[in-house]
A = this chain, B = another copy of it.
Amino acid sequence: MMATMTDAGTEPLFRLLSRYMALDHADRVALSALETGPIRKLNARSDIAREGENPSVVRLLVSGWACRYKDLPDGRRQIVGFFLPGDFCDLNVYILSELDHSIGALTGVRFFEIEPEQFQEVIDQRPNLIRALLWHEMVASGIQRQWLLSIGQRSALERLAHLFVELYYRLQAVGLATGLTFELPITQNHLAEANGLSPVHLNRTLQEMRREGLIELSDRQLKIVDLKHLKKVAMFNSNYLHFNRT
């Protein structure tokens, strides 16, 4: 029982929410009670949901990376956010009827689906949790603002540096960083789409970062070589992540 709980798909979520506020064992149990359905799997490059759909369930990402993206009629695409393990793909299903963006799997993903009633039941019992979940949504919104600042004002190098530091902190929060190294399972094309850059220029920017001794990247492993310098280049201020518990 305890063993299954620690292995549960809700483990990263619990770790994440714990960065925002103190949660107790009962909260932990309540969260794991969300996982009743089967674990679903999808391959990389497949869509989890398309713009215009009206999904009836909330999805919790257990492993792999996904993204929110928007596209234009002529094919241009912008990734507007990453979903990492422990993230909900669209909690706003509750409020809004129709998706105004798509959700795509960037790698193979595993997730499970939660029925609204079931969700409601759990948060009714645990007022702490609804607060933590709202917090998480607000942070997601803050990340979007930070991306606007990046794409609007930062150079390619600064942008990429900022993204890497952000991913480092987010992955660390769900236990997916070991030291200053983490798995970066997405392609340079994805990084380009997230940063509003062409794949070619993104590639050159990556090489510049390596040359400057900021990072090492190979075999999908990103190692931050000089975190202090990287943060300086990115002008990184972690306040927008609102982790107020170490």
Write the A231-246 contact mask toward B (1 if CB under 8 angstroms, else 0). Answer: 0000100011010100
Taken together as a complex, chains A and B put the C-alpha atoms of A5 and B125 apart, in Å, by 39
Taken together as a complex, chains A and B put the C-alpha atoms of A215 and B197 apart, in Å, by 30
Contact partners of A242 in chain B: CB under 8 A:
96-98, 100
Write the A135-163 contact mask toward B (1 if CB under 8 angstroms, else 0). Answer: 10011111011111101111000000000
Q: Is the CB of A95 within 8 A of B148?
A: no
The contact sample of 22 A-B pairs, CB cut-off 8 A, is A51-B239, A52-B239, A72-B154, A76-B153, A76-B154, A77-B153, A92-B138, A95-B131, A95-B134, A96-B138, A96-B142, A100-B142, A100-B146, A101-B145, A101-B240, A140-B141, A141-B144, A144-B144, A144-B145, A151-B152, A151-B196, A152-B196
A34 at interface (Cβ–Cβ under 8 A)? no
Nearest B residue to A153 by beta-carbon distance?
B76
Taken together as a complex, chains A and B put the C-alpha atoms of A142 and B99 apart, in Å, by 10
Contact partners of A235 in chain B: CB under 8 A:
72-74
Contacts A235-B73, A240-B100, A242-B98 given; indicate if A148 touches B148 (C-beta within 8 A).
Answer: yes
Write the A75-103 contact mask toward B (1 if CB under 8 angstroms, else 0). Answer: 01110110000000000100111101100
* Residue positions of A touching B, CB distance < 8 A: 51-52, 68, 70, 72-74, 76-78, 80-81, 92, 95-98, 100-101, 131, 134-135, 138-142, 144-149, 151-154, 195-196, 235, 239-240, 242, 244
Contact partners of A100 in chain B: CB under 8 A:
142, 145-146, 239-240, 242
Taken together as a complex, chains A and B put the C-alpha atoms of A239 and B72 apart, in Å, by 13
Contact partners of A239 in chain B: CB under 8 A:
51-52, 98, 100
Nearest B residue to A150 by beta-carbon distance?
B78
Taken together as a complex, chains A and B put the C-alpha atoms of A169 and B77 apart, in Å, by 24
How far is the CB of A18 from the nearest CB of chain B, in Å? 16
